[in-house]
Structure 1
Amino acid sequence: MSDQPSPRLLTEEELSARLRGLAAHGAVPAPTTGAQVRSRVRRRRRGRRVLLSTGALAAAALIAVTSGALTSSAGQPAPPAASPADPSPADPPPAPVQQVTIDLDAYTLTIEGSTFRISGLQESCPIGETTVTVTAKYPSLTMPPNKFSSLTGIEVKQWVVTFTDRDQQHERLLMWALDPAAGLTAIGRNAGDGAIALSPEDGKRVYDAIRPGARVEIKGWQAASADPDTICSELQPVTGAR
């Protein structure tokens, strides 16, 4: 422990005297009174406290911002990258329309690469269409009565395919299968009363193969007009029991 005495604190008068001496030599502006000296000392102390407080606050803010950024970056996973929207599935292409060809001059019907023999049409009983769309199919169909019904009785046709005509918007007979009891005499000649006929075996095969909505092209010669339905019974609208 040092034996030297502690430095003595200067009194206010001594401090003022020293400051005036320094001011006289141009070191600091000379305070005029002790009160001015005390005021200047207090201002210096407050300035140092303000500087220290401002520096501390700035450092604290910097630490908080840095710490928050680091916590956000390290503590939370980065959001997943946006994946491109899955493309909507394309609509399936429409099913191709089934094509059927009836050749009245060659007495043939062609469907899906297979050709069958048919009967043709009487000159006075044309179908009256060159392109039709299949409307419906019936395993058996009771035809509307006509003037011959009283002689021949109720006529029931087998494996019937129909269409809807453009003029009257009536469902009409397009093709049917001959009854085995009727023989095959109509095949290969003009005998139909407004529709074509197939043999019993071929009629069932065509009936099974053809679909509603099929497009049927009718080729060959047809008369421009027809006799009334009382004669061309197969031109009558399809009604009654199926």
Structure 2
Amino acid sequence: MPSNDIPQPGFGTSGHDRDACTEAVVTALETGYRHVDTAQMYDNEEAVGRALERADVDREDVFLATKVHPSNLAHDDVIETAEESLERLGVDAVDLLYVHWPTGAYDPEETLPAFDEVRDRGWARNVGVSNFTIELLEEALEILESPPIANQVELHPRLQQDDLVSFSREHDVQTVAYCPIAKAEVNEIDDLQEIADAHDATPVQIALAWHYERDGVVPIPKGSGEHIRENYDALEIDLSEDERERIDGLDRGERLVDPDEAAWNR
């Protein structure tokens, strides 16, 4: 798999744990997803690892991403806990290792060179960042020897982050969208329901189709049961220009994940 190829869509595992997590990831992989996203913070890397072993999909065909917990971002802790993540996942390397939040022990001059070292050791094929503002992303681009290939941020029709997405695109950084369906709140948006009716789809599928068509954006919806396939099937929806513009007009700058220590609140 090319190092800069992040498959569309990803499967998010935040909130999944134990056997339910394993079952969901196996279902996602056997549905067609080839990008799985986890994190030390989610406490489910072992469950994801079991899914990789169980699914009838070759490891080299799966783009696997995990994230280092904010409390583990001191230089030596990055290296130590990255190795522990590999052990839990049962793999020799991940395809992408993120800084989860630029908070806690995060110090760009200490943390980012540790990510370079993890990549140099072959434990991560690529590095990335998450919840970074334009300013923090600019700083990371200057410090990292390994070009960051992704910035994972909250992104959905009510929080479109055009400036951040455009900046990232200009610097060959993919925007990976978490909460891409706004924790299912897109179901309450009348415009999305009307567009969904025209496509014999759901508002969730329309929101995901909008993401899929947005240049430089890879959403990572989570799901269980039939929703896993429904989210994937949204790849088949073609929105008209008028429909995309209508969704573009839904931006309200509304965050659902907004901790006080986040970079945009400082």
Shorter-normalised TM-score: what interval? under 0.3
Greater share of residues in strand: 1
TM-score, normalised by the number of residues in structure 1: 0.19
> Over alpha carbons, which structure has the higher Rg?
1
Which of structures 1 and 2 has the larger relative contact order (alpha carbons within 8 angstroms, sep 6+)? 1
Greater share of residues in helix: 2
TM-score, normalised by the number of residues in structure 2: 0.18
